[in-house]
Amino acid sequence: MDQYQFTVSAGELIHVRTYSTEELSFLTGHGAPEITAFRVAIGLWDNFSVARGMDENAQTVKSREMLLAATSELLHRLEQERELFSHSYKLKCPDSRSRGSMKCWIELKSGETGFLMARHAGQLYFEHKEAGPKIIDMRALSSLDTATGETRIFRKRNELRWPLFLQDLEVFLKSLMVSEVSISHGKLRRQMLVTTVAARLPAPTVQQADADDWDST
């Protein structure tokens, strides 16, 4: 599994966090406004381009207070909905035999059309065809009855470490006496994985599962 890293620094004070592909997937979703706000505050895509990918040598400068606020708000949301965020979701689309879909084209009974999205860990939301992501939280459902038929929802426990990451980042940001911080993002190379020393955290429990391992409740 690939590993990614973000670094937040203020002068000689540096905070480094390494995270997994699945944890990156969580950060790129639109399932909660707090996720979007944190993604912007930490500048995840500031130095990314389709042509070149992530410029790992570049840094972005962000407001410490804005990043601290976004960190605290996302941490609070994750703690409030820990059980819902601690699962990954898959779908059985109308007229499909597969139980492993990550998105379904549906028409809500209100007449709105778009995709039901389960691509991002801990998130399940409706993406409107024209208006973009529309947060309709369906994670507690076992099925959704739509104008295009029934969509079944399956879930598997998937403990991500973002609450721990956010707690550590919050402590670091509160300790600083600066108005701005420098942030960089990148993908760890194999040799860096061997030599990087980081705080010990529980290993992610993400596992690739067969369709039969997913529950529908």
Tell me which of 89 and 51 has the higher pLDDT: 89
> Do residues 175 and 72 share a domain?
yes
* Mean pLDDT in residue range 13-22: 94
Same domain, 163 and 153: no
What is the number of structural domains in the chain? 2
Average model confidence (pLDDT) for the chain? 84
Q: Are residues 118 and 14 in the same domain?
A: no
DSSP string for residues in 123-147:
--EEEETTTEEE----TT-SEEEET
Residue 97 has a pLDDT of 82
The alpha carbon of residue 57 and the mean position of all alpha carbons in its chain are separated, in whole angstroms, by 23
Contact 173, 62 (CB under 8 A): no
pLDDT tens digits, one per residue of 150-205: 999 999 998 789 999 999 999 999 999 999 999 999 888 654 443 344 444 444 43
Residue 18 confidence class, pLDDT cut points 50, 70, 90 = very high
Domain coverage including residue 33? 3-83+159-213
Tell me how far apart the alpha carbons of residues 63 and 156 are, in angstroms, rounded to a whole number: 37
117 and 54 housed in the same domain? no
> Are residues 142 and 172 part of one domain?
no
Last residue of a domain, one of 157, 176, 192: 157
On whether both 151 and 202 belong to a single domain, the answer is no
Residue 78 scores a pLDDT above 80: yes
Are 98 and 40 contained in the same domain?
Answer: no
Query: Which phi and psi angles does 173 have, rounded to 5°?
Result: -65, -35
Asked whether residue 173 falls in the same domain as residue 207, the answer is yes
- Report pLDDT digits (tens) over 122-162: 999 888 877 666 677 888 888 888 888 899 999 999 878 99
* 69 and 20 in a common domain: yes
127 and 95 both lie in a single domain: yes
- pLDDT reported for residue 151: 92
